[in-house]
Chains A and B, each alone.
Chain A
Amino acid sequence: MKKPSTAPKLAEANLEAVFETLDEGLVLANFEANVVHWNRAAVEMHGMVSSAEAERPLAEFVAVYQLEELGGRVLPYEEWPLPRTLAGDCVRGMQCRVRRLDRDNWVRIFVYSGSLIKDAAGKPTMAVLHVSDVTARRAAEASLEEADERMRRAQRVSRFGTFEIDIDETGKPVEPYFCSDQLLRIHGLPAGGNMVMLADMRARLHPEDPPTLERSRNTITPESPEYEGAYRLSTPAGEVRHIRVHAQGFFEGRRLVRVAGTAQDVTTEADALRELVELSASLERRVGERTGELAAVNAELESFAYAVSHDLRAPLRAIAGFSQAIVEDHGDELSTGAKSYLDEIVGASRKMGELIDALLLLSRYTRGELHKDTFDLGRVAERAFAVVVRDAPERRVTFTVEPGLLACGDIRLIENVLQNLLANALKYSSRKEEAIIAVHSEESEGKRYFCVTDNGAGFSMSYAAKLFQPFQRLHRQDEFPGIGIGLATVQRIVKRHGGTFMARGAIGQGATFGFWLPPEKSIRGPERSSVTGATPALSEN
């Protein structure tokens, strides 16, 4: 090894050997800033192969190395550790990231400390630089920091905070104790000061909620060390936050030495749950109210119908009865004109009686229970036809029924539907020499309708909607007498079954009235039903 002329007394072999075998790097430099000596460790650390490669003027290394602060700033040559030491600066624990410019991805982190070596007179003669490689340690620290940061991020995302409280021999909590940033944030305290006092953490605790530590200590035992609880916090803004906490006790023997756990802000869930509970309660209340109202309306309707039935008929009976009594008892004293007026009174009373009966019938068919059965609609139609044709024995009628029509409904009500439809068919075909009336089925919009078709006077589709209004008629009394309640009744009965109704006709070309009843087991409420089929206008009913 070459001995520099200005070298201090390093010539002793032992010292030299120590110098070479050290694992820490040492570099010696004289005041000409020539590197005079690198030990083996320093050579290896800097990625060089031999001392010969290393021993040249320091300034030449600018072409090979780049030194940066850990923050990233590139250091100019004057700020490199050796030049600084030679300039008299105190260099202690200077951390640098060192890159080799002639190699890809050669990066190290070194810690440098430098000092001056002085002669007997106290004059500095050279600088010695101590180098240690902390790359691995820094990497480990960095990954630890990253893990820590990841943990903090995870806590924030999951809204979980953590805490650990040691308990001393006297059973007192040791303060300050550890709280994670997230738990501090939950409690409205600044993050970062992870050692906190219980009093600070409890500053915003809801006055009715006992602190978790006290509560959990009362319940946990070595056998059952877990505690699940909840508490509320009041924010300065006046909001209430709901916190769910899970704690675990750690024991030495039977003595509790630590309580640790997690806490989570569940305000959103608690609010959602409360809203759900409130909503469901209010729904139930509203359903109850509506049901009550409906029951009241129904009862009112019933008593109204009853009153109509009794109270409207009594005066009518008197009007008709006494008019008749005048005719019978005092007929001789009356002129023909007076008698005919009395006949009008009797006729009008009779008519009003019929109207009252029809109104009652209509109201009765919209009340009461439905008793559903599956039955042969054709047979019911034949029976209904026999009833209605009794009033017109002189008529020539061809009546046909399609075989095998099965229906599901209240047979008593459906019989009334058929009586109404068949009576209409008979009435409106009365101008024909021979009436042709058919009961049959037909498909419309995927539904099988039971239909009654006649060859009578028909009606204009533009007035179809009027057909179903009580007391609305499309014909004058002198054309076809009637009171206009039949189809309204029919439609109500069909609606009560959850079915739909159709009407089709043209003036002078007969009419078809049909109804569809939902099959058993898929019966829907009447509110879903509507009148469809050939007369879209009717769906407004």
Chain B
Amino acid sequence: MRRILLVEDNAADEKLTLRALRKVNLANQVDVVRDGQQALDYLFSEGEFIDRKEARLPVVVLLDVNLPRVSGLDVLAAIRAKELTKTLPVVMLTSSAEDRDRVQSYASGANSYVQKPVVFEEFAETVGRLGVYWYLTNEPP
């Protein structure tokens, strides 16, 4: 079973995201890491994820822009720099409505950019739609 990787340091956002994905029956497929370094270790089976050798890449990475240690944009750059993950679908999640985050995300090779809405229905709907779209409809290259 292919996984969805959620990179999110905010516990509340994580719970709400998981709840939204549960509503579309995807919660069991989600792995969660809490910062950028963990995300890179997960993807490249290093550090605490050394046992994930041979494991398949996630079907999509939901990547928060603001992360401790290695920022979301740096994670994205590292993903795009490696042959293994060059084409991995990455969706940037952010609270920010700032243009510069959007521009930088697309410039760094994000497949999609989603602003986390404050209002829960919208948030749930957005996250659910993302999960379903990438998980079910998007054929990985």
Contacts and interface: CB of A to CB of B under 8 A. Distances in A.
B104 interface: no
A317 B94 contact: no
Main secondary structure of the interface of A (DSSP, over half): helix
B119 A320 contact: yes
Contacts of B119: 320, 346, 349-350, 353
Nearest to A354: B118
Interface in A319-346: 320-325, 346
A284 interface: no
Interface stretch (A43-51, A89-97, A305-313, A466-474): A305-313
Nearest to A360: B97
B98 A305 contact: yes
A316 interface: yes
A317 B98 contact: no
Nearest to B20: A321
B120 A321 contact: yes
Contacts of A321: 12, 16, 19, 120, 123-124
Among A309, A317, A318, A322, max chain B CB count under 10 A is at A317
B105 interface: no
A357 interface: yes
A314 interface: yes
Interface string B92-112: 001111110000000000000
Chain A: number of interface residues, binned into ranges: 20 to 34
A137 B13 CA distance: 116
Contacts of B95: 309-311, 313-314, 317
A324 B116 contact: no
A313 B116 contact: yes
A420 to B, nearest CB: 18
A444 B26 CA distance: 63
Given A324-B121, A325-B120, A353-B118, A317 B97 contact: no
A316 B120 CA distance: 10
A373 B7 CA distance: 43
B98 A306 contact: yes
Nearest to A368: B99
Interface in A336-392: 346, 349-350, 352-353, 356-357, 360, 364
Given A317-B123, A321-B123, A353-B118, A310 B96 contact: yes
Given A321-B123, A324-B121, A314 B10 contact: yes
Contacts of B13: 314, 317-318
A322 B18 CA distance: 12
B120 A357 contact: no
B66 interface: yes
Contacts of A350: 118-119
Contacts of A346: 119-120
Contact of B96 (A309, A315, A324): A309
Contacts of A311: 95
A370 to B, nearest CB: 15
Contacts of B97: 309, 357, 360
Interface in B40-71: 66
Interface string B67-104: 00000000000000000000000000011111100000
B127 to A, nearest CB: 11
A371 to B, nearest CB: 14
Interface in A279-327: 305-306, 309-311, 313-318, 320-325
A357 B117 CA distance: 11
A364 B16 CA distance: 29
Interface string B110-137: 0000001111110110000000000000
Interface in A416-444: none
A305 B95 CA distance: 12
A306 B96 contact: yes
Nearest to A316: B118
B81 to A, nearest CB: 26
A311 B119 CA distance: 15
Contacts of A323: 120
B46 to A, nearest CB: 28
A318 B12 CA distance: 6
A318 B16 CA distance: 8
A317 B16 contact: yes
A316 B66 CA distance: 17
A44 B97 CA distance: 118
A338 to B, nearest CB: 17
- Nearest first, the 7 A-B pairs at minimum CB distance are A353-B118, A318-B12, A324-B120, A321-B120, A313-B95, A321-B16, A310-B95
26 contacts: A306-B96, A306-B98, A309-B95, A309-B97, A313-B116, A313-B118, A314-B10, A314-B12, A314-B13, A314-B95, A317-B95, A317-B118, A317-B120, A318-B12, A321-B12, A321-B123, A324-B121, A325-B120, A346-B119, A349-B119, A350-B118, A352-B118, A353-B118, A353-B119, A357-B97, A360-B98
Given A324-B120, A325-B19, A356-B118, 4 more contacts: A305-B98, A310-B96, A317-B120, A364-B99
